[in-house]
Amino acid sequence: MNDLKLIVLENCQVLGLKVNENLEKMNNKNDYLVSIVNSRFANGEGKVKIEDSVRDKDLYIISDVGNYGINYQLHGMPHYMSPDEHFQDIKRVISATSGHASRINLIMPLLYQSRQHKRKGRESLDCAIALQELESLGVNNIITFDAHDPNVSNAIPKLPFDNFYPTHTIINELVNNEEVNNILVISPDMGAMERARYYAEILGCDVGVFYKRRDLSKVINGKNPIIEHVYMGADVKDKDIIIVDDMIASGNSMIETAKELKEKGARKVYLIATFTLLTEGADNFIKAYNNGYFNKLYSTNLSYVPDTIKNNNWYYEVDCSKQIAEIIDTLNKKKSLTILHNGKKEIINKVRKKLGVNL
């Protein structure tokens, strides 16, 4: 582990420091962090300087491109950073270390432009282009979580692309903290069905899905508006419901799903998302919680969520820093990642025993 070094960008400081602490505990060694200076000129142009040696090191760069809480002075006015700017800083770090580090591993929990993973007609193909750009800059491995469509890795067939899921960590926290039984897992749309089926497999329960009927004659905020949510699946009456998706953007669809389930007689409703973006703020969630549409939202610390949201009693943050540290430790020691990718047998036995489900 002497060749391991971490570079944690400013947008990922809290998570990155926890990852470093977990690595220290795993290997009884102090501090893997590399000091960097990320500065900007008054017109917004930036640069990165690496202050510690990374020569011949196995380097891991951690960045959260979804952090919307960082600002800098642009022409004397506060300017909040966008995913595009965070991605540009990643490239600056890579260019500053390229040729010195033995390997450059990029950990980008929220994959940059992951929702623009395919195109229809004359659209840009941003995620694929970004991955190819990282490859050309000399990145040796890309590590992400719950990619919107993992098949985007086909854009870089020669570069390792590891897509992990926080499923086991989230389920473990949910079962340890909540009194749930007679469970039913629900997918809010057809696109999240595979994810919901995996949760249902671990929990040993049925799965249902909502079909979004859209008005294809209109486009509002880049999308065809939803006319109706049509439910397909087992009866939800008196069931504890778990609604699963990869990310919550505005959250309107998730809340509408929860509302309809409660109206159909669901007992409890828990929301689960790897990334909680809440692009329109939390007011709709506060209102939905007060109306009794859901009991709690479980999400991870893999991307930025402000304290004003995390401090609500309906929000529960699942810490995934240990999982990232285990991935880094395994890669650095050149061991197989199979158990970290799969490894569901242990969590299945633990969860089903607690829930009283037959193994």
Range 126-133 average pLDDT = 96
pLDDT, position 30:
82
Task: Give residue-wise pLDDT tens across range 86-124.
Answer: 999 999 999 999 889 999 999 999 999 998 887 788 888
Domains, the chain, ordered by start? 4-164 (3.40.50.2020), 167-319 (3.40.50.2020)
The 3-class secondary structure across the chain, one letter per residue, is CCCEEEEECHHHHHHHHHHHHHHHHHHCCCCCECCEEEEECCCCCEEEEECCCCCCCEEEEECCCCCCCCEEEECCEEEECCHHHHHHHHHHHHHHHCCCCCEEEEECCCCCCCCCCCCCCCCCCHHHHHHHHHHHHCCCEEEEECCCCHHHHHHCCCCCEEEECCHHHHHHHHHHHCCCCCEEEEECCHHHHHHHHHHHHHHCCEEEEEEEEECCCCCECCECCEEEEEEECCCCCCCEEEEEEEEECCCHHHHHHHHHHHHCCCCEEEEEEEEECCCCCCHHHHHHHHCCCCCEEEEECCCCCCHHHHCCCCEEEECCHHHHHHHHHHHHCCCCCHHHHCCHHHHHHHHHHHHCCCC
Range 206-215 average pLDDT = 83
Task: Give residue-wise pLDDT tens across range 224-272.
Answer: 777 777 888 889 999 999 999 999 998 988 999 999 999 999 999 999 9
Task: Give residue-wise pLDDT tens across range 318-348.
Answer: 999 999 999 999 999 999 888 787 666 667 6
Report percent pLDDT > 90 for the chain: 72
Residue 2 scores a pLDDT above 90? no
Confidence grade of residue 359 (pLDDT, cut at 50, 70, 90): very low
